[in-house]
Amino acid sequence: MAQNPAVNTLRSPLGRVRGLGSARGGTHHWFMQRVTSVALLPLTIWFAASAVFTLAGASYEVAAQWVAQPWNAVLLLALVLATFHHVAAGLQVVIEDYAKTEAGKLVGILLVKAMCWLLALASVLAVLRVAI
């Protein structure tokens, strides 16, 4: 990029900074991806350990009772929310990097966000239905 891009915008540099930067979200997206990754470390290891030691091959009653335990239900909800935030953030960056057209990028990101929202809501509803 030898040439500098010219920007025809009415926003001043200060305005951009106060509005959380030219990318509108500033570093928020990047930062939340890290925050969710830190949250997912203990949550995922807890769920994996539970899957290996309690849930693998468990009967319906055992699995349902496990989800219905208050602590398990709360941690499952946290796991689901952090997971889908992290998945949406990660897949968005992948699409931004590799999508060839602007339209493809927009559609791809919106589809990912829609899927993540729906799957997260379905998972939350499922946990609540078993737990309550």
Partner 1 sequence: MSMQDSREAAMIGRRTDGTTVRRPLSPHLQVYDMLQMSSFSSILNRMTGVAWSFGILLMVWWLVALALGEPAYQTAMGAMAHPIGLLVLVGMTVAAWYHTLAGIRHLNWDIGRGFSLPAMYRSGWAVFIGTVVLSVLTWLPAIPGAVEWIVAQINTHS
C-beta of 86: minimal distance to partner 1 in Å? Answer: 9
Residues engaged in binding partner 1 (CB under 8 A)? 1, 3-9, 13, 16, 22-24, 34, 37-38, 41, 44, 47-48, 52-53, 56-57, 60, 63-64, 67, 76, 80, 83-84, 87, 90-91, 94, 96-98, 102, 119, 122-123, 125-127, 129-130
- Residue 36 burial (CB < 10 Å; 0-12/13-18/19+)? buried
Return d(Cα 30, Cα 112) in angstroms, integer.
17
Residue 15, H or E segment: helix 13-18
Task: Rank residues 67 and 78 by Cβ distance to partner 1 and give the closer one.
Answer: 67
C-beta of 125: minimal distance to partner 1 in Å? Answer: 7
